[in-house]
Structures are given as C-alpha cells and as structure tokens.
Amino acid sequence: MSKDYYEILGVGKNASKEDIKRAYRKLAHQHHPDKKGGDEKKFKEINEAYQILGDDTKRSQYDQFGRTFSSQGGHGQQGWSGDFSDFAQGFEGMSFGDIFEDLFAGFGGGGQRKRARRGSDIAINLEVPFAESVFGGKRSVIIEKRSACIECGGSGVEKSSLMKKCGTCQGTGTVRETRRSIFGSFSSLAECSICKGRGEIPEKACHNCKGAGILRKQETIHIDIPAGIRDGEAIKLTGMGEAVQGGISGDLYVKIKVHPHPVFRREGHDLLMELHLPLSKMLLGGDETIETLDGKVEIKIPELSKSGDFLRLRGKGVPSGRGHSRGDLLVRLLPKLTKKLSSQAKKLLADLEKEGL
C-alpha cells in the first residue's frame, strides 16, 4: 500500500510549498535519530515525504499517480536521497551552531556541558485549618519515595568495603560511543552505565540496597507552614523529592488547601466578619464582646450605627510577611431583626416612628 506523504508531514493536499517546508523542518528537527528521543525510522519517512512533496515535478506525479518516477528505473522514491542541500533548506533561518547544538544535545563530550543527574519532583496536597493558614504552624506527613540508603549514605558501598576502578570505563566515568548521522560518523563520550559516571564501583555492594544507593521507603517529612499562606499556594522543600544515585534529589512541592472558616473571610491581609446586633444596640450604641482569631475582644458600637457600617480592629488580620506587620479585622454591623414583636415593642416602635426614626 502506498504511503500518504501528506499525512506523514501533517499537512493538507492543498498545502503550499512553504507550509510543507515548515512542517518538514519541525518534524525533522524533532525526530532526528541523533537527538535524545529521536526516531530513525520516522526521520527517514519524513525525509522521504519531503523529497516528494518538496519537489514540484515529483509532487505532481504523486498527486496524479500516487507514486513518482525517476531516471533510475521508474520506481517510486524510496528513502532519503542524501542530498544535503535539500535537508539544509529545511532549516532556513537557523544557524549551523543551532542545528549542531540541538543535534548533539545530551552527548557526553564535544564541549557540551554534562547534565547532572537529578531525581524526580514530588507534589502532595495538605489541608490546613483557617487559623493555621493565618498564624502558620508545623506539620509532619509520611510519604513513600526513593530515598538514600541509610546504611551506606547513598554510596552503594558496604561499610567494611572500599571502592575500585570501574572496569568498563577504566575509571573515567565515560565511555566512547560512535553514532552515524547524515553528517557522517561522530564519536562522543557518554556516561558509563555501570558506574553512573563516578568512575568507581563498590568492591562489595551494600547489603541493604544491593549497591543501588537508594531504596523506596516511607519517610516522615516535617513541614513549616508560613504565616499568611493562601489557599492554593505551594511550599517548596528543596531536595526532599525522589533520590537518584550519583546525583541530586528532586524537590517536594506541598500544595496548601485552606479550610473555609464559618465566621471569618480573608481579603488580602485583612479579615472580614459580620456582627449581627439588636436594633436597639445599633441605635443606642454600647459595648460588645466578639470572638476573634486572637481571642475575645471588647469593641464599642457607635451610636446610630447604620446597617453595613464597618468597625476596624487594627493588627487583628493576616501577617503580611514583612516583619510582624498584620492586616486588620473589619467588622460589618448588621441589625438582628426579631420574627415576632410584643405589644410593648410595637408601642416603642410607634413612638420611634413619630420621632422620624
């Protein structure tokens, strides 16, 4: 069955020559076999498709007959012709330095910087009460992850044993690899898979981790919750993620979920609450005791307070993170209306009405 070159390049049959060249450049750059994660078979297929669709004559033959004809016997175009000029055209606008840098990214030598081995990051969720999000606190959680072996400290060596030179890389930590590419054969240095780049291996492997240096186990993690943290924010614990032998551990991210409070609501660094008072207290004023996150506080209700008025209690809000500064507590005054009036209450309200209140 003939190949669908348009489908291979991910373009429609009415695609312009520029669209085809752009699609080829992207896919060839992505699937080149000398790049990490590259696919040689896919790369050859992409080049084959471009050789046909990138040439007006061959494309016309392909559109008409489903194949192309050449002076080499009338067979359809197979593979990549090796014409470097066509390949280079696919990377117009890019410098050769960019091409080579991406082409050989991850090679151990040739001036490329060797990437340090790093363990995976871990993310967990942690629910905290509203008051704890305001004042901060300490939590401990148990998670299962890859951690350094406590017996050998992550070295993989038995305590009574020593390290010896790796026989595979002869102590260099790297091995030479030769790869073929469209540019020819290239030799490079890659990390030794036996010693993981250290150049040494244990004479006797650790009995606990079997020389791996790491084990999957449960570990207790202590978390300091900063004062004033918001719902949805995350705490980063550097080096508390997955461990990896011969490298650095990943990080642990703790995403905070703050439980809503039945009384208080947060607005920036301020706290808001509603205080329902008898109508008489709203009109006559007086003292009132309220419960705050800091404990009981006595406040003064102004005379003739209106529904929706706010009282501000300074320094009773959320820490701002700058020293010991805190926001304010805003108390919204609302009248508490009764569902039933006595005859005496009705008479008093009638008298108030006469007064224009």
Summarize pLDDT for 304-337 with one digit per residue, the tens: 999 999 999 999 999 987 666 899 999 999 998 8
The answer to whether the Cα torsion of 51, 53, 57, 62 is positive or negative is: positive
Calculate the average pLDDT of the chain. 81
Q: What's the CATH class of domain 5-103?
A: mainly alpha
Considering the entire predicted model, what is its pTM? 0.57
Instruction: Identify the pLDDT of residue 108.
Output: 42
* Residue, of 328 and 343, whose pLDDT is higher: 328
**Which two structure tokens, joined as six digits, stand for 152?**
């050998």
Q: What's the CATH class of domain 265-354?
A: mainly beta
Residue with tokens 């050789």: 51
Q: Give CATH for domain 122-258.
A: 2.60.260.20
**H helical segments located in 115-272:** 130-135
Q: In sequence order, which residues have a C-beta less than 8 Å from that of residue 175 and are 6 or more positions away?
A: 168, 169, 189, 190, 191, 192, 193
Summarize pLDDT for 249-289 with one digit per residue, the tens: 999 999 999 999 999 999 999 999 999 999 889 989 999 99
User: CATH 1.10.287.110 in the chain, residues?
Assistant: 5-103
Instruction: Identify the pLDDT of residue 172.
Output: 84
Summarize pLDDT for 102-145 with one digit per residue, the tens: 444 444 444 444 566 788 999 999 999 999 999 999 999 999 99
Of 297, 225, 295, 227, residue with least CA distance to 266: 227
- Going through 4-130 in order, the beta strands assigned E by DSSP cover 122-128
Contact 210, 78 (CB under 8 A): no
Query: Side-chain half-sphere of 291: how many Cα atoms within 13 Å?
Result: 5
pLDDT, mean of residues 164-193 = 77
* Residue, of 116 and 234, whose pLDDT is higher: 234
Dist CA 293 CA 312 (whole Å): 15
User: CATH 2.60.260.20 in the chain, residues?
Assistant: 122-258, 265-354
Band (1; pLDDT cuts 50, 70, 90): very low
Summarize pLDDT for 2-24 with one digit per residue, the tens: 678 888 999 888 889 888 988 88
Band (83; pLDDT cuts 50, 70, 90): very low
Instruction: Identify the pLDDT of residue 151.
Output: 82
In single-letter form, the type of residue at position 254 comes to V
Band (41; pLDDT cuts 50, 70, 90): confident
Q: What backbone phi and psi angles, to 5 degrees, belong to 252?
A: -110, 125
Band (229; pLDDT cuts 50, 70, 90): very high
Report CA-CA distances (Å) from 351 to 337, 345, 347: 18, 10, 6
